[in-house]
Structure 1
Amino acid sequence: MRVSHVMRNVYLKMFLALLVTTAASFAVGAIPGLTYFLATHTWVYWGLLIVELVMVYSISGGVKRMSGGVATGLFYLYAVLNGVVFSLIFCAYSFDSIFKTFLITAGVFGAMSVYGYFTSNDLTKIGSFLYMALFGLIICIVVNLFWSNGVLDWIISAAGVLIFIGLTAYDTQKVKEWAQSGAMADSRLATIGALSLYLDFVNLFLYLLRFFGSSRD
């Protein structure tokens, strides 16, 4: 009973965070001057990304020392910042392709999360491999920022899709095991679990958008 209760809270928090990100993206995207500022002032954009990384590591590393309310508040603040960063997507891609990619992402994410929850297979080894692959992917992304190779970009996109499909199943199983162990308070566990799955969903969406997104007319 506790596991199902925790998992419901995980998915609820994750869903609310996605709504917050979407609302923030639309709000910023509705202000042309603001999106233009973000697009032309790369130092602001990269500054936001750095702040986001700091917040993710702060929440992940300090969740056991935070109150449930503080951890949840930081998580939703992170979702807002993500929405600000993602507002540029609406400048690059058509709304129809964004919506289509979102539906595809939701379907793939849902299927893999269900698999991760119900499978009797231990996904620990796969998860360890996927996190190593993710580290390699980040290195490739940094290299390609300076190299700008189109073929490598497509390889990165395909690898990103596969990695986050696998991580969705792994992280779901991991959160379920945390809930079974009772090693963390329910409110904190729901937040850190929602953050993990939120990151999987968002990154899967971004990589799929490279394949299914179409430019604005």
Structure 2
Amino acid sequence: MAQGPDRRYMTHTQAEAAGVDVGLRSYMLRVYNYMALGVAFTGALAMIVATNQALVQTVSSLIWVFFIAILGLGFFAPRIMTTKSVAAAQACFWVYAALWGILLGPIFYVYAQMDPMIIVRAFFITAATFAGMSLVGYTTKKDLSGLGTFFMMASIGILVAILINVFFVQSTLMSLITSIGVVLLFSGITAYETQQIKTMYSAGDMGDVVAKKAIFGAYMLYGTFVVLFIHVLNILGIMRE
């Protein structure tokens, strides 16, 4: 049976590095598991809403209320997750996931009328894209921190373009172009965030500190995954039409 390195023959630096490596893997696994649970919860809630006509109509009539709530929580959640208790961090994460699930319900309903398999294909395309780019972010030796400002400004620019199209232009072609831009941009953001989450880890982290970091990391990746999914879904829907 294969065994790990014998610490008796390690230098102090080697033993310390091995400890960090094991701890880092455990921490990242915790991040991904938490994020996956959030995505599953959102998907289940979205399907519940999508299969209930009354709920679809109610959520559709309040769509901007939920959207503003998501933006508001997205703004305050990082501070709460990093400065408050683990319970508060968990509450923020699950409320955020629930809001997205409710908001996605009417969207699922529309695409289910078109072709239910579009939702499935969009999920697997998103999952494959996310996994590949997150692996890049985890393994690359290149420092991606300098891209943070660019990603922020590009996200604002695309958001403005989307809102202009929704309220004024209402062009299918522009919707397709902006969705392609979002997919490309958030693929890069996935790698960037993964590296940032990785660098947040410290071998000295214990108890609540590492728990809150894992929840915050899951929250970052979860949001990126959902945005990717929505725009992959939009691309597939437009291409089908």
The CA deviation string for residues 64-112 of structure 1, in whole angstroms up to 9 with x for no partner, is 2211122112201211111111011222112201001100110110000
Q: Please give the alpha-carbon distance, in whole angstroms, between the structure 1 residues aligned to 2:189 and 2:195.
A: 10
User: Is the 2:31–2:218 Cα contact (8 Å) retained in structure 1?
Assistant: yes
Q: Please give the alpha-carbon distance, in whole angstroms, between the structure 1 residues aligned to 2:95 and 2:164.
A: 30
Deviation at residue 214 of structure 1 after TM alignment: 6.8
Letter in 2 for 1:7: M
- Which SS does the other structure have where 1:121 is aligned? coil
Q: Please give the alpha-carbon distance, in whole angstroms, between the structure 2 residues aligned to 1:177 and 1:100.
A: 33
User: Is the 1:127–1:166 Cα contact (8 Å) retained in structure 2?
Assistant: no
- Which SS does the other structure have where 2:201 is aligned? helix
With the length of structure 2 as denominator, give the TM-score of the two structures. Answer: 0.83
Q: Please give the alpha-carbon distance, in whole angstroms, between the structure 2 residues aligned to 1:68 and 1:166.
A: 29
Which residue number corresponds to residue 109 of structure 2? Answer: 91
Residues 182/58 of structure 1: CA separation in 2 closer, same or farther (3 Å cut)? farther
Q: Any residues of structure 2 matched to 1:1-217 within 5 Å, and which?
A: 1-39=22-60, 41=61, 44-93=62-111, 94-147=115-168, 148-180=170-202, 185-213=209-237
Instruction: Tell me the matched-pair count.
Output: 214
The CA RMSD measured in Å over matched residues stands at 2.1
Residues 214/146 of structure 1: CA separation in 2 closer, same or farther (3 Å cut)? closer
User: Is the 2:80–2:88 Cα contact (8 Å) retained in structure 1?
Assistant: no
Deviation at residue 4 of structure 1 after TM alignment: 1.3
% identical aligned pairs = 32
RCO greater where, 1 or 2, for CA within 8 Å and sep 6 or more? 1
Q: Segments of 4+ in structure 1 off by > 6 A?
A: none
The CA deviation string for residues 143-193 of structure 1, in whole angstroms up to 9 with x for no partner, is 222222333222211110111000000000000000147678111101110
The CA deviation string for residues 24-77 of structure 1, in whole angstroms up to 9 with x for no partner, is 1111122111102223x1xx1111111111112221122222111221122012
- The structure with the largest alpha-carbon Rg is 2
Q: Please give the alpha-carbon distance, in whole angstroms, between the structure 1 residues aligned to 2:116 and 2:178.
A: 24
